[in-house]
């Protein structure tokens, strides 16, 4: 046992020093083009087998993953565990700090760490968050809230009216109005300048900040008829945020790829993955036209130990799972646009934050 601890320590120490060394090299020897805007798309639980399934199960044409020029691999362990959860796995993207599993926007000692959104709002960027979970779920919450535990949904919601984020779309209505403290955070959001939309995704965006809440908790599954919510919300956000001459930062999460993995339900997972690929396509179409936008697609971790296994017949795919939880496998990072070259290679997940901030430095 003692031996194992020692080995693990050596492994951690060497990866730590390695990652410091490699980031120094990047800053010394490359002067990347800088993007004006960044679109970060997170496939929750999306490992390489999940991405591969897009190639085998997309009905027509090539997956949008095909369009990227730079591919890297991200090492996903959190500060507390070899296998991360989605809270630590998103906080590391929003703050650059590896923290403990369940932490939302706070460091290992539970102190708040400013998020990339908070930094950029101060610099007059426009910002947006889209998810197919509730917008208070661990991944989106980590970009605007600071709480000790991901299950503090009511506390997370309190950050929304005062977040300064221009565009929210997803579920999570019940945490605004059906609250233990009796506050009505929809009213507070309206007072803070949000246009509240709870019936359907509008076809045009307004000049006000928008809070679009289309489900009490998570959005329906694709199998339950969610339709094109995710790609259309992505387009709507881009229409809105791209009006800002100073730039924007948009986060889009395919939240339920992870839920299909936890359920060990391959059709659920694959339909969520294909929907996410559509949103990736919308982001890439925009970036191609715009020319000043970096698009990054990655995952917080892999879920389900998903494999496109074979059986006796090697021409017959048998998607199987090895766990109902997450796994420690590295996850892919796809990038295209100004600065994309920084995202090639193998690195710790907190490097993704530092690379983005390096590219957005004034
Ligand atoms: Mg998530
Ligand atoms: Zn999960």
Ligand 2 center to 326 CA (angstroms): 6
Does 263 reside within a domain? Answer: no
pLDDT at 312: 87
Ligand 1 center to 213 CA (angstroms): 17
Which regions of the chain are under pLDDT 70? 1-31
Does 10 reside within a domain? Answer: no
pLDDT at 31: 67
Please answer whether residues 254 and 43 qualify as being in contact, where contact means their C-beta atoms are separated by less than 8 angstroms: yes
From 86, 126, 142, 327, the catalytic residue: 86
- Read off the pLDDT of residues 295-334 as tens digits, 9 standing for 90 and up: 999 999 999 999 999 988 999 999 999 999 999 999 999 9
pLDDT at 21: 43
Please answer whether residues 335 and 351 qualify as being in contact, where contact means their C-beta atoms are separated by less than 8 angstroms: no
Prediction pTM value: 0.92
pLDDT at 5: 52
Q: How many Å apart are CA 63 and CA 54, to the nearest integer?
A: 6
- Give kind and range of the element (H or E) at residue 302: strand 302-303
Verify whether residue 86 is a known catalytic residue. yes
Ligand positioned closest to the Cα atom of 259: 2
Distances in whole angstroms, Cα of residue 18 to Cα of each of 82, 112, 185, 262: 18, 27, 46, 33
Q: Quote the domain boundaries for residue 243.
A: 38-254+272-311+327-359
Does 172 reside within a domain? Answer: yes
Does 182 reside within a domain? Answer: yes
Indicate the number of domains in the chain: 1
Does 260 reside within a domain? Answer: no
CA neighbor of 125 nearest in space, from 237, 243, 233: 243
Q: What is the CATH number of the domain that holds 98?
A: 3.40.720.10
Q: How many Å apart are CA 335 and CA 274, to the nearest integer?
A: 18
Ligand positioned closest to the Cα atom of 256: 1
Ligand 2 center to 88 CA (angstroms): 11
Ligand positioned closest to the Cα atom of 139: 1
Does 152 reside within a domain? Answer: yes
Does 247 reside within a domain? Answer: yes
Residue 84 corresponds to which tokens in the numbers above?
């991360």
Ligand positioned closest to the Cα atom of 258: 2
Does 176 reside within a domain? Answer: yes
pLDDT at 7: 52
Ligand 1 center to 261 CA (angstroms): 12
pLDDT at 332: 98
pLDDT at 362: 87
Ligand 1 center to 361 CA (angstroms): 27
Ligand 2 center to 45 CA (angstroms): 6
């Amino acid at each position: 046992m003692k031996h194992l601890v020692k080995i693990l320590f050596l492994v951690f120490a060497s990866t730590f020093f390695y990652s410091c060394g490699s980031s120094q090299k990047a800053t010394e020897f490359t002067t990347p083009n800088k993007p004006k805007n960044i679109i970060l798309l997170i496939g929750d639980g999306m490992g390489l087998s999940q991405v591969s399934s897009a190639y085998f199960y997309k009905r027509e044409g090539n997956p949008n993953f095909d369009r990227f020029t730079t591919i890297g691999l991200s090492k996903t362990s959190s500060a507390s565990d070899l296998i991360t959860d989605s809270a630590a796995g998103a906080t590391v993207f929003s703050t650059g700090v590896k923290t403990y599993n369940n932490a939302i926007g706070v460091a290992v000692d539970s102190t708040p760490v400013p998020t990339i959104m908070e930094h950029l709002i101060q610099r007059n960027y426009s910002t947006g968050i889209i998810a197919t979970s509730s917008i208070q779920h661990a991944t989106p919450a980590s970009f605007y809230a600071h709480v000790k535990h991901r299950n503090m949904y009511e506390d997370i919601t309190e950050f929304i009216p005062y977040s300064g984020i221009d565009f929210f779309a997803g579920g999570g209505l019940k945490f605004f109005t059906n609250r233990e403290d009796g506050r009505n955070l929809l009213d507070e959001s309206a007072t803070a300048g949000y246009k509240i939309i709870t019936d359907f995704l509008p076809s045009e965006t307004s000049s006000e900040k928008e809070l679009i809440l289309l489900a009490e908790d998570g959005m329906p599954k694709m199998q339950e008829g969610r339709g094109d919510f995710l790609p259309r919300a992505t387009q709507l956000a881009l229409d809105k945020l791209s009006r800002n001459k100073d730039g924007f930062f948009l986060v889009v999460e395919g939240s339920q790829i992870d839920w299909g993995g936890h359920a060990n339900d391959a059709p659920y997972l694959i339909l969520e993955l294909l929907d996410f690929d559509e949103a990736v396509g919308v982001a890439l179409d925009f970036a191609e036209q715009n020319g000043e936008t970096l698009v990054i697609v990655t995952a917080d971790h892999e879920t389900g130990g998903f494999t496109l296994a074979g059986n006796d017949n090697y021409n017959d795919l048998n998607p199987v799972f090895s766990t109902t939880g997450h796994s420690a496998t590295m996850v892919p990072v796809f990038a295209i646009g100004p600065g994309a070259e920084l995202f090639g290679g193998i690195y710790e997940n907190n490097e993704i934050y530092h690379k983005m901030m390096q590219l957005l430095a004034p």
